[in-house]
Chain A
Amino acid sequence: MERKTKIHAEDGRQELVITREFDLPLELLFKAYVMPEIVEQWMGTKVLKLENKKHGSYQFETSGPKGNVAFVASGVIHDFVPNQKITRTFEMEGTPFAPQLEFLEFEAVSEGSSRLTMHIVYKSVALRDQILQLPFAQGINMAHNRLQEIVNQLN
């Protein structure tokens, strides 16, 4: 099976690169990042704020299984160029993890396909490795199930 999402994480470096090719035109891919109601669907999070502009900021809230707030993620947008790039910080509020810097690059591969390159820089090598090992599994399944419902409704 082809692995569409690739992660490049060299050891001893406080960064990683996530790449993914989408079977979507560039404009649609970018839209999925800027429209709050769509971000909510695929990220499985509630979008409290999303200012798509240079010097803007955003805030997402993720609920736990019992409806309680699991965590709030937020950051500021340093650069915003439609259909090209978003440079932003990302922080999980109330956790000991330092904010990370994210460089998102969007590019067209063909008329109907596009590529996202997400370059994430962490405060330290140790922090990056720690984030990589976070027990994400539960969150993934939660988000997955909810999004599956949404997608089913669309069909």
Chain B
Amino acid sequence: MNLRRDVFQAIADPTRRAILMLVASQSMTAGVIAANFDTARPTVSKHLQILTECELLKQQQNGREIYYHLNAKKMKEVADFIEPFRQMWDDRFNKLEAIMKNYTPEI
């Protein structure tokens, strides 16, 4: 299984991104998370399952309740995934900008 690809898929979904944003502030139970969305509870559960499988969320048993919290380490990995590619273009464009700022047309 290509885990990185799965992580990438996980964050592509707007609802799942919203869940990550929500949980980033504090750990929550599935019920509390679901209450923040208009989406049907089973749909939210499915999203939580995917995010947990990708290790973006971690479950923590607290008494009878299961709390979801963000796996910051995994999130960083996702952010890094596209970063080298972005950096490459950023470097190129920075050079382009620097070169053209110094450009004087030959008359």
Contacts and interface: CB of A to CB of B under 8 A. Distances in A.
B interface SS class: helix
B93 interface: yes
B53 interface: no
A111 interface: no
B12 A10 contact: yes
B90 A4 contact: yes
B41 interface: no
A20 B100 CA distance: 15
A23 interface: yes
Contact of A7 (B8, B86, B103): B86
Contact of B99 (A20, A41, A132): A41
Interface residues of B, number: 30
Given A11-B9, A136-B84, A137-B84, A38 B89 contact: no
B100 A24 contact: yes
Given A129-B5, A140-B91, A7 B85 contact: yes
A42 B92 contact: yes
Contacts of B88: 136, 139-140
B98 interface: yes
Contacts of B46: none
A152 to B, nearest CB: 10
Interface of A: 3-7, 9-12, 18, 20, 22-24, 28-29, 31-32, 38, 41-44, 116, 129, 131-137, 139-140, 143-144, 147-148, 150-151, 154-155
